[in-house]
Structure 1
Amino acid sequence: MAILFAMNNPLGVYISVPFCRAKCTFCNFASGAFAAERLQGYVDRLEAEVCGTRAATARLGAELVRPVDTIYFGGGTPSLLSASQVGQIFRALRDEFEVAPDAEITLECAPGQLAGETLEELQRQGMNRASLGVQSFVDKETASVGRLHTQEICKAEFARLRAAGVNEINIDLIAGLPHQTEESWRYSVEQVIASGAPHVSVYMLEVDEDSRLGREMLVHGGRYHASDVPDEDAVATWYEMACERLDAASVRQYEISNFAYEGYQSRHNLKYWKRQPYIGFGLDAHSMLPAAAGAVRFANTDDLDSYLGEARGPLELLPRNQAHRPEAEYLGREEAFEESLFLGLRLTEGVRLDMLREEFGDAILTAVMPAAFEARDAGLLAIERDCMRLTARGRMASNEVFSRLLIPAAA
């Protein structure tokens, strides 16, 4: 296994743009339908954060290299950025980092919410990948959670991106939306296969208790179509069906929620699952960088007013008699092992036990193996030679598997 955070590992950069035209009823992310005039102030704040990041990360004891080979614009709805705002962000990034000529640059898009001028500027800056938040190809289902697009808008957006030369396109689908049935879910899966999208993300609806839909479900109410949310067993069955249909169409599962044609896996998201260094800018953006003791993880505030109102960069230290901001977490050997194990198991290829042993030593791996064998005997894990991976059943119950493995690892 390559030494984690080797100095020659290029960075992944995440840009958070938390603005939406409408907020989905199930969403509790740090995003919202904020006033449009705040967007320029937010971009100015982003620029200042990028420009100050090298000194700020140094004060955290983190190593921040200049090479960058993935950039991901997430949100929110980053496709709402204007062309000039896109240019402003990229100028700041290129001043602070060396963006590789073949960097993977991804934009999350809400179908029908990407202006032509913005697309042109993004492509001029090297954007070569788009992720479309379709969620469903059934209009009743998307309308029920507050999405503004229709099936026809989705198909037109896909065709427009392809015509513009953006060939790496991901389509998001969600199983478990209100009014969804087995038949309608099958229709959405068949539509995404027919589109020829080289990458597909399939999520089972997770309703946060603090979202509008979640609060209504807790009281068994009917607002936001809460009474029309399918039961969890049905959703699990639909997810398994999607896995089978996508595999039959050569859209192979490479992570619990992600599927792709060969060569079209998301390079940026693989950085998270393989514990490679990344830095995030903007509201609620998270980072993990190498540090002397192993790695340091830190995050920005998830409150927009606080983010915009800070006089200092969100990575700035508190008074000098304090070691670092409370948000900073220094990861030691045990934490690194647990993350390597759990994140690696999210990947279909699993983890190499010999590589874990080489990086972390035999004792810590030996401690976790009794629980791993129990999970194997329960049909949740496959252990073959020096490879451990989740079974199809284990992917459906991944949190249970991870909790089983965490207890002996932390002992």
Structure 2
Amino acid sequence: METLGIYISVPFCRSKCSYCNFASGVFPESYQQRYVDRLLSDIREIGIQAAAMGVSLPRVVNSLYFGGGTPSILAPALLHELFAVLRSGFRFSADAEITMECAPGQLADDVLAGVVECGVNRFSFGVQSFVDREASSTGRLHNRATALCDIERVLAAGIRSVNADLIAGLPHQTAESWRESLEVLLASGVDHASVYMLEVDEDSRLGRELIERGSRYHAASVPSDDQTADFYLEAVEVLNRNGLTQYEISNFARPGTASIHNKKYWQRQPYVGFGLDAHSMLRADDGNPVRFRMGDDMQGFLNGSGFAEVQPVPRSEALEEAWFLGLRMNDGVALRDLVGEFGTVAICSHDSVLNELSSTGLLEINDGRVRLTDRGRLLSNEVFESFLVEKQNHLTELVTID
């Protein structure tokens, strides 16, 4: 039986991080009720919208993810409304993973009690750094003591799984301070960690400052790309050695605690997103994916704007997605599965790029599976772009599967 993942976008923040270019921000508190009302309407109508798009909407949910922004700053009454409508419109499996993102220091006692009552069983904390100077330099409002206190609180409340995010490459970060963050994370009791290398978007405040060589957001103290890569490689080695095993480029987990929801993205399983800039992927009757998303303008969303884009994915692009999403996982891509979905001829169209990436040490092919090497994970964007370039090189000869 096919199951569904649901993502709820809650774009409200108490401060905007300097590196962030997500559709989130510091909005008036009065927006929250209007925003949730729009979410409730969209949740109730998704079946009608799915039918109009000609896509299948599974009704059994095994993952629900509240992301943001900072979902935990919503009033408990609003969160209860959301859960009530979600549970009335979908059937949740007994072991459904229900995750809430939270910024340390922004989880009130009544919110924690309320979401536990509603069934939340996983928290993800945007710690980013356990070194106070690094956290504050990017606009985070917490310090190490606050982050550790919140982790202890949710564990004491019976939450079965807790993730902590770290970012390699923050302003003022050094080899010593990075090692300190890793050590504190390992001692904190979390069973999952996400480690990202800082990617500075030119439209973020930090990105604009790097271009303009300003000083307000500590751009001059951002480590070099080589230093950031070294931090990431050290995290892979340290976390793996201490029982948090890497299962995806940026994600590490103790046995049995890998994120069910995030794996849906990489394994191209159906999911539907509600809220500002939320993305969805459902399948048409012929099995081909259809991707759709909401716009990222808050006023437009509150005023009832519809989907910003609905895009059926051609078979050739679906194959590319299967490669670059599947390769994010340490298990890699099973060639037999790709042949079963796309056919032998289509898979063979990527032979040249597979051979090239294998010969340069970025991919390994063993026992019918294709995986990134350690170096390939470090250069994953270049690997994934190779599959897109390959499509352009073979545009006239790429076979369309019936």
Tell me, yes or no, whether TM beats 0.5.
yes
Q: What is the alpha-carbon distance in structure 2 between the residues aligned to residue 177 and residue 383 of structure 1?
A: 35
Q: 1:38-187 residue pairs with structure 2 within 5 A? A: 38-187=31-180
Amino acid at match of 1:204: M
Q: What is the alpha-carbon distance in structure 2 between the residues aligned to residue 403 and residue 369 of structure 1?
A: 15
Amino acid at match of 1:35: P
Q: What is the alpha-carbon distance in structure 1 between the residues aligned to residue 120 and residue 85 of structure 2?
A: 16
SS of aligned partner of 1:165 = coil
Q: What is the alpha-carbon distance in structure 2 between the residues aligned to residue 175 and residue 257 of structure 1?
A: 11
Amino acid at match of 2:294: N
In structure 1, the partner of 2:398 is none
Q: What is the alpha-carbon distance in structure 2 between the residues aligned to residue 391 and residue 275 of structure 1?
A: 22
In structure 2, the partner of 1:270 is 263
1:378-407 Cα distance to aligned partner (Å, 9 max, x none): 010011131110000000101111122223
Q: Does 2:22 match 1:22?
A: no
Q: Which has the higher contact order (CA 8 A, sep 6+)?
A: 1
**Residues 71 and 105, structure 1, Cα contact 8 Å, conserved in 2:** yes
Scaled by the length of structure 1, the TM-score of the pair is 0.94
1:189-210 Cα distance to aligned partner (Å, 9 max, x none): 1111111211000000111100
Structure 1 residue 39 displacement after superposition: 1.0
Q: What is the alpha-carbon distance in structure 1 between the residues aligned to residue 135 and residue 54 of structure 2?
A: 45
Structure 1 residue 53 displacement after superposition: 1.2
**CA RMSD of superposed structures (Å):** 1.1
Structure 1 residue 65 displacement after superposition: 2.0
SS of aligned partner of 2:150 = helix
In structure 1, the partner of 2:290 is 296
Q: What is the alpha-carbon distance in structure 2 between the residues aligned to residue 66 and residue 13 of structure 1?
A: 11
Structure 1 residue 181 displacement after superposition: 0.5
1:31-60 Cα distance to aligned partner (Å, 9 max, x none): 001111111111111111111111112111
Amino acid at match of 2:158: G
1:56-86 Cα distance to aligned partner (Å, 9 max, x none): 1211111112111100000000010111011
SS of aligned partner of 1:346 = coil
**Residues 79 and 109, structure 1, Cα contact 8 Å, conserved in 2:** yes
Amino acid at match of 1:223: R
Match of 1:283 among 272, 276, 287: 276
Q: 1:245-264 residue pairs with structure 2 within 5 A? A: 245-264=238-257
Structure 1 residue 94 displacement after superposition: 1.3
In structure 1, the partner of 2:314 is 332
SS of aligned partner of 1:171 = strand
**Residues 68 and 98, structure 1, Cα contact 8 Å, conserved in 2:** yes
Amino acid at match of 2:389: I
Q: What is the alpha-carbon distance in structure 1 between the residues aligned to residue 390 and residue 345 of structure 2?
A: 12
Q: What is the alpha-carbon distance in structure 2 between the residues aligned to residue 305 and residue 164 of structure 1?
A: 37
SS of aligned partner of 2:309 = coil
Structure 1 residue 409 displacement after superposition: 3.7
Q: What is the alpha-carbon distance in structure 1 between the residues aligned to residue 160 and residue 147 of structure 2?
A: 15
Match of 2:303 among 290, 309, 319: 309
Q: Does 2:400 match 1:404?
A: no
Q: 1:194-273 residue pairs with structure 2 within 5 A? A: 194-273=187-266
Q: What is the alpha-carbon distance in structure 1 between the residues aligned to residue 60 and residue 238 of structure 2?
A: 39
Q: What is the alpha-carbon distance in structure 2 between the residues aligned to residue 102 and residue 126 of structure 1?
A: 10
Q: 1:387-398 residue pairs with structure 2 within 5 A? A: 387-398=369-380
Q: What is the alpha-carbon distance in structure 2 between the residues aligned to residue 142 and residue 151 of structure 1?
A: 9
In structure 2, the partner of 1:318 is none
In structure 2, the partner of 1:349 is 331
Q: Percent identity?
A: 51
Q: Does 2:19 match 1:37?
A: no
Q: What is the alpha-carbon distance in structure 2 between the residues aligned to residue 48 and residue 167 of structure 1?
A: 31
SS of aligned partner of 1:223 = coil
SS of aligned partner of 2:327 = helix
Structure 1 residue 332 displacement after superposition: 2.4
1:235-287 Cα distance to aligned partner (Å, 9 max, x none): 00010000000010011000000000010000000000000000000000000
Q: Which residues of structure 2 form unaligned runs of 5+?
A: 395-402
Amino acid at match of 1:302: D
SS of aligned partner of 2:166 = strand
Q: What is the alpha-carbon distance in structure 2 between the residues aligned to residue 226 and residue 407 of structure 1?
A: 33
How many residue pairs are counted as aligned between the two chains? 392
SS of aligned partner of 1:20 = coil
Match of 2:185 among 192, 212, 225: 192
In structure 2, the partner of 1:370 is 352
Structure 1 residue 101 displacement after superposition: 2.1
Scaled by the length of structure 2, the TM-score of the pair is 0.96
**Residues 364 and 409, structure 1, Cα contact 8 Å, conserved in 2:** no
Amino acid at match of 2:293: A
Q: What is the alpha-carbon distance in structure 1 between the residues aligned to residue 188 and residue 335 of structure 2?
A: 38
Structure 1 residue 361 displacement after superposition: 0.7
Structure 1 residue 370 displacement after superposition: 1.4
1:149-190 Cα distance to aligned partner (Å, 9 max, x none): 000000100110111011300000000110110100000011
Q: What is the alpha-carbon distance in structure 2 between the residues aligned to residue 393 and residue 206 of structure 1?
A: 18
SS of aligned partner of 1:200 = strand
